[in-house]
Structure 1
Amino acid sequence: MTPAPTSPLPALSIVRNGPARRARRARVALAAAALALSPGLALTADAPPLQPVPRVDLQRYAGLWYQVALYPNDFQSHCVSDTTATYTPRPDGTIEVLNQCRRSNGEPDRAEGVARHASKAPGGVEGSVLEVRFAPAWLAWLPWVWGDYWVIQLADDYRYAVVSEPSRKYLWVLSRSPALSPDDDATIRTRLREQGFDLSRLQVHPQERPLNQRPTASP
């Protein structure tokens, strides 16, 4: 999920020119250097190319998902709990995206975007490789405002899903319920190890007071 995703989907981060932007670039550079020295990078670098699941029925995938775990990232640092994503198919084949979370002061935060089938996707997949945009529609022609959204694990009954992107930099674990069962959690983690992810980076995300959402789509 590349350009600054928000919640379990990519978004666009816009920063004005000036000292604040230069300082942010310096922080990003330092963070990148620290990551390059971390043991987890070797695991990712040695892993084979990441593969999405072969097929996702986007009608079944639609509805409410709870974010139950993730790789922490800067663009979600304001979300301390109760992060959710709601996906609604549109007649034109795109998907309306609503991401919500709760800030440290208890106030809700929300971002609206759109997802589409990826313009370039690995062969033999259907519906599991998407691109997501939270930038304004008039910027949609710019390729860098679209972030990769790959479904890399999916339960047979769509009760949980795991989302990442080719570089493995970002990772989200989504569930139809606010918490995974112990068996599902163990299954997901075992598969993530096999897929070349560093589980020491995976952080559980609290679901304490879920925000009001649309009803979950029937599986």
Structure 2
Amino acid sequence: MKRLLASLGAALVLAGCSTSSNDPMAPRTVDNVDLKRYQGTWYEQARLPMFFQRDCVQSEAHYSLKPDGNVAVLNRCLTAEGKWQEAKGTATPQVPGKTDKLWVEFDNWVSTLLPGVTKGDYWVLYLGDNYSTALVGNPDRKYLWLLSRKPQIDQQTRDELLSKAQQQGYDTTRLIWRTPDADMPKGTK
């Protein structure tokens, strides 16, 4: 039941934030994302609060390029109780041939019942050298993820990501930071 409510909540939240914006005040995205280089595992370092991740203390995303050019998405979240929750979906370019702004739609009963209604914005706002870090957000700045290829980042990298997010107009005082591995429940590492 808990998983059902989380899926429904995620679908409704994403539906509410799916607005591809031409607003000049919207965050700026990177010019181009090489999806082959972007695929792989990303570790969430911090995020703005959101309903569908309310129980997460550590999250990671696994992306893989599909033969049709879209991206398979597998998000995993470790709860404070030490249980993994997963959500699968697909990311597709909002504009054919442009890969900086994607739609993400998760596979659940809501997306099956109402196809296209539950897609959410996934805007790549910043990419670090060699695709080592990334900032991902949405046009209305309600959602933001600071991502890294490594589970832990150093202070300099953290400061750089915070600065980039602030330059884009995000409220970084509300960020929820990843719980360090040392603070995790036993048996979850």
Task: Judge same fold: TM > 0.5, yes or no.
Answer: yes
Rounded to whole Å, the distance in 2 between the matches of 1:68 and 1:51 is 21
Q: Is the 8 A contact 2:58 2:78 kept in 1?
A: yes
Pick aligned residue for 1:63 from 33, 37, 40: 40
Please say if 1:92 is aligned against 2:68: yes
Secondary structure in 1 aligned to 2:45?
Answer: strand
The match for 2:16 is: none
Q: CA deviation at 1:206?
A: 1.6
- How do residues 36-51 of structure 1 correspond to structure 2 at under 5 angstroms? 48-51=25-28
The match for 2:122 is: 149
Rounded to whole Å, the distance in 1 between the matches of 2:59 and 2:51 is 15
Secondary structure in 2 aligned to 1:127?
Answer: coil
Secondary structure in 1 aligned to 2:52?
Answer: helix
Q: CA deviation at 1:82?
A: 2.4
Rounded to whole Å, the distance in 2 between the matches of 1:186 and 1:115 is 29
The match for 1:101 is: 77
Q: Deviations over 1:79-138 (max 9, x none)?
A: 1x2210000111011111111111222111111111111148xxxx83111000014497
- How do residues 164-175 of structure 1 correspond to structure 2 at under 5 angstroms? 164-175=137-148
Q: Which has the larger radius of gyration?
A: 1
The match for 1:12 is: 11
Q: Deviations over 1:163-210 (max 9, x none)?
A: 001000001011000122221111111122211111211121124269
Q: Is the 8 A contact 1:193 1:199 kept in 2?
A: yes
What are structure 1's unaligned runs of at least 5 residues? 1-5, 15-46, 213-219
Which is strand-richer, 1 or 2?
A: 2
Please say if 1:54 is aligned against 2:31: yes
Q: Is the 8 A contact 2:88 2:107 kept in 1?
A: no
Rounded to whole Å, the distance in 2 between the matches of 1:94 and 1:211 is 31
Please say if 1:128 is aligned against 2:100: yes
Q: Specify which structure has the bigger relative contact order, considering alpha-carbon pairs within 8 angstroms and separated by 6 or more residues.
A: 1
The match for 2:90 is: 114
Q: What letter is aligned with 2:69?
A: G
Identity of aligned residues (%): 34
Rounded to whole Å, the distance in 1 between the matches of 2:61 and 2:25 is 29
Rounded to whole Å, the distance in 1 between the matches of 2:166 and 2:72 is 32
The match for 1:35 is: none
Q: CA deviation at 1:142?
A: 3.4
Q: Is the 8 A contact 2:135 2:165 kept in 1?
A: no
Q: What letter is aligned with 1:108?
A: W
Pick aligned residue for 1:76 from 30, 42, 53: 53
The match for 2:21 is: none
What are structure 2's unaligned runs of at least 5 residues? 1-5, 14-23
Q: What letter is aligned with 1:12?
A: A
Please say if 1:158 is aligned against 2:157: no
Rounded to whole Å, the distance in 1 between the matches of 2:67 and 2:179 is 34
Q: Evaluate the alpha carbon distance shift between residue 94 and residue 178 of structure 1 in structure 2; reply closer, same or farther with a 3 A threshold.
A: same
Q: CA RMSD in A?
A: 2.7
